[in-house]
Amino acid sequence: MIWLTWRQFRIQFLVVAAVILATAVFLAVTGPNLLDDYHRLTTNFIQSLGYERLNPILYRVGQLLLYAVPPVIGAFWGAPLIARELETGTHRLVWSQSISRWRWLATKLGVTGLTAMGITGLLSLAVTWWSDPIDDAINAGQDSNSYLPRLFPPVFAARGLVPVGYTAFAFALGVAVGLVVRRTLVALAITLAAVILVQALTPSFVRPHLLAPTDQYVVASAENIRGFGLSGDGPNPQVTMMEVATGSVGAWKLSDKTVDKSGEAAKLPSWVTACAPAPPGMTQQPTSTADRTACFQRLSDEGYRQHVRYFTANTFWALQWREFGLFLGLALLLCGFSFWRIRRDLS
């Protein structure tokens, strides 16, 4: 049965594996140099990357591939696994051999699913290891516009265990969908769309609930203010929101709301405009430093504070494990569903 699974699956496998292996080898070859730069250039490391060509590209390629692998595996390995058999009627050939449906499904799921997880794990290992100097430098506080801390959504799911969890989930979803809709192409499309949707929604709707975030109240000041949200045009803009720095490097901020002295969410009074620098392109006189200091002082005096919720950089692995566990659990549930569904009539 393992032979048959492999025989049916080898082309899809070779296509994906070739891409992943090539990337992994490339990363393995270039990685030591990057690490060397990191040690040599220390605090100028990130800055120096700006003058390089290859390494920034490799960084993006690794990130992109790790986002692409789960939907691709779900759609091209998972969805056709059963759907193609049902579509072409070959399930009736293979089920009339001396092997039970459960063993057949278990072997197919096991061989293909574990391969999928293994190969994603390999790629994730390569990318995580390769990017480690960059992630370290960013988390050590080196400034950059091109590289984000590894806890930020665009990077988080391209590191460590999470891609493996996504792949397991995507694969199991593809199999289950294929078993239900019984059309390869339809199952493939549904799986592709569903997995991409899950990848897009997880950072906002799932990840914040995996761990209790750090709650902090910060008084805004000219030093820690990071930005203002302005509304209204013309010379009299309104400040609708402010953001402050938490002082925690590499942290992922979930929310940043202004509260008044009673701790309730508050609207900012109109005089806060004085705290903000003039919007670009305005002819208005720039607010003087003294004015801004006075404005922040008044905010503080009247009891306005920023309520900030965030994950600190050191929660990275805890979050990774939890998200991996969650999606692995979902994958197992979907497999359970497939085992239940295949017992039913499928003539």
Partner 1 sequence: MTTVLQAHGLGKKYGRRWALADCDLEVPAGHVVGLVGPNGAGKSTLLNLAVGMITPSAGSVEVLSAPAGTQQAKVGYVAQDTPTYSRLSVADHLRLGSRLNPAWDDALAQQRIQRLKLDPKQRAGRLSGGQRAQLALTLGLAKRPDLLILDEPVAALDPLARREFLQDLMEAVADQELSVVLSSHLVSDVERACDYLIVLVESRVQVSGEIDTLLATHFRLTGPRRDQKDLPRDQHVVTASHTDRQSTYLIRTDKPILDPAWTVSQLTLEDLVLAYMGRDVQPERPVLEVQR
Residues in touch with partner 1 (CB under 8 A): 1, 3-4, 7-8, 88-90, 92-100, 344-347
Cα torsion 317, 332, 192, 73 to 10°: value is 80
Q: Which is nearer to partner 1, 97 or 293 (CB)?
A: 97
Q: Which is nearer to partner 1, 79 or 134 (CB)?
A: 79
* Angle value at C-alpha 104, between 98 and 105, nearest 5 degrees: 155
Shortest Å distance, C-beta 98 to partner 1: 4
Q: Which is nearer to partner 1, 7 or 53 (CB)?
A: 7
What values do phi and psi take at 288, rounded to 5? -80, 160
CA gap 204, 209 in Å, rounded: 9
Distances from the Cα of 327 to the Cαs of 116, 313, 317, in angstroms? 14, 22, 15
Ramachandran area for residue 141 (φ above 0: left; ψ -120 to 50: alpha; else beta): left
Decide if 1 contacts 111 (C-beta within 8 A).
no
Decide if 54 contacts 30 (C-beta within 8 A).
yes
Q: Rounded to an integer, what is the distance from CA 194 to the centroid of its chain?
A: 15
Q: Which is nearer to partner 1, 70 or 80 (CB)?
A: 80
CA gap 318, 211 in Å, rounded: 8
Shortest Å distance, C-beta 53 to partner 1: 42
* Angle value at C-alpha 280, between 279 and 281, nearest 5 degrees: 115
Q: Which is nearer to partner 1, 33 or 88 (CB)?
A: 88
Cα torsion 320, 326, 332, 333 to 10°: value is -170
Shortest Å distance, C-beta 12 to partner 1: 12
Closest CA to 136 of 206, 62, 208, 37: 37
Q: Tokens standing for 59?
A: 């960084």
In three-state secondary structure terms, 147 is coil
Shortest Å distance, C-beta 124 to partner 1: 31
In three-state secondary structure terms, 28 is helix
Shortest Å distance, C-beta 11 to partner 1: 9
Q: Which is nearer to partner 1, 37 or 85 (CB)?
A: 85
Shortest Å distance, C-beta 103 to partner 1: 10
Shortest Å distance, C-beta 85 to partner 1: 9
Q: Which is nearer to partner 1, 10 or 60 (CB)?
A: 10
Shortest Å distance, C-beta 83 to partner 1: 15
Go through the chain and tell me how many residues it has.
347
Q: Which is nearer to partner 1, 2 or 212 (CB)?
A: 2
